[in-house]
Structure 1
Amino acid sequence: MSNQLTLLHQAFFRRERRSVPLAREFARKALTDWGLDVRTDDVLLCVSELATNALLHGVPPGRGYRLHLRLERPGPLRVEVHDSGDGTPHRREPSDESGRGLLLVEALADRWGVGERNPGKIVWCEFAGVGGLVGATGA
């Protein structure tokens, strides 16, 4: 018998500017539902950045993106943004106006990457150690 528990929250957001704050609020509620208060600001900023990137670069007109939050107890919290756009996101040098999103994700999350989806892609990041069980001890 496994001592691991997986919790999942997911939602669909339309291609509209207000979807980023809606995605952030959705993530905040999921973290609260799960009783997480570790690295919350980092997680919410990464949700904002990944949602913004999907909106700007990964969601064709008339489409949207899905946000998945998966918590392994014990284990990491994984944030995934599923979109249907072409191309592979990559970290780039920021300009005065843009280009900081994946730099922030890389700095705040423990891991990040891009997975395949047909059509499109999944951009994800993970936060290690936030899924500890209540009452568990550890370093």
Structure 2
Amino acid sequence: MPAAREFARRALADWGVGEARTQDALLCVSELVTNAVRHGVPPGRGFRLRLLRAGEALVRIEVHDSGPGHPRVADPAEDGDERGRGLLLVEAVADKWGVGERDPGKIVWCEVGLSRWLS
């Protein structure tokens, strides 16, 4: 996961993204990559991290994996386990997030708006 964060940090710096939104995007990268490694990558497979810049408006973060299932936001009332809260964090700091189809697997993505956060 450190390599994924460093890749994202460099891309965001190259794009001139301000520090506040860089931190939000890096948190999203960490959580989505962690979820992919823990739940979406079958043995012998990897994942793909993609960052896309959409003009001055936003950065889209995508994590592609080949595992089954559909991630969901954990309900804090369900149990006292401190794990499984990654998508809650993504939901809190990203402007949008969702899951797309991939064969095999899925793409978990989020978008972080930039317009007021550019350096």
With normalisation by structure 2, the TM-score equals: 0.89
Given that residues 60 and 84 in structure 1 are in contact (C-alpha distance below 8 angstroms), is that contact kept between their aligned partners in structure 2? Answer: yes
User: Percent of aligned positions with the same letter in both sequences?
Assistant: 64
The structure with the largest alpha-carbon Rg is 1
1:15-30 equivalences in 2 (<5 Å) = 20-30=1-11
Name the amino acid aligned to 2:95. Answer: D
Structure 1 residue 21 displacement after superposition: 1.0
Q: In structure 2, the residue corresponding to 1:112 is in which secondary structure?
A: strand
> How well do the aligned residues superpose, as a CA RMSD in angstroms?
1.7
1:17-96 equivalences in 2 (<5 Å) = 20-37=1-18, 38-94=20-76, 95-96=80-81
Structure 1 residue 43 displacement after superposition: 0.4
| Structure 1 residue runs of 4 or more that deviate by more than 6 Å after TM superposition | none
Correspondence for 1:119: 104
Q: In structure 2, the residue corresponding to 1:64 is in which secondary structure?
A: coil
Post-superposition Cα deviations, 1:65-122, rounded to whole Å, max 9, x if no partner, equal 0000000113221000000000000011244341110000000000000000000000
Partners of 1:102 and 1:40 lie apart in 2 by 18
Higher helix proportion (structure 1 or 2): 2
Partners of 1:103 and 1:77 lie apart in 2 by 19
Partners of 1:101 and 1:124 lie apart in 2 by 13
Higher strand proportion (structure 1 or 2): 1
What is the total number of aligned residue pairs between the two structures? Answer: 114
Q: Does 1:110 align with 2:95?
A: yes
Q: In structure 1, the residue corresponding to 2:47 is in which secondary structure?
A: strand
Which stretch of structure 1 is more off in the superposition, 107-116 or 92-101? 92-101
Given that residues 59 and 83 in structure 1 are in contact (C-alpha distance below 8 angstroms), is that contact kept between their aligned partners in structure 2? Answer: yes
Given that residues 77 and 131 in structure 1 are in contact (C-alpha distance below 8 angstroms), is that contact kept between their aligned partners in structure 2? Answer: no
Structure 1 residue 51 displacement after superposition: 0.1
Name the amino acid aligned to 2:64. Answer: H
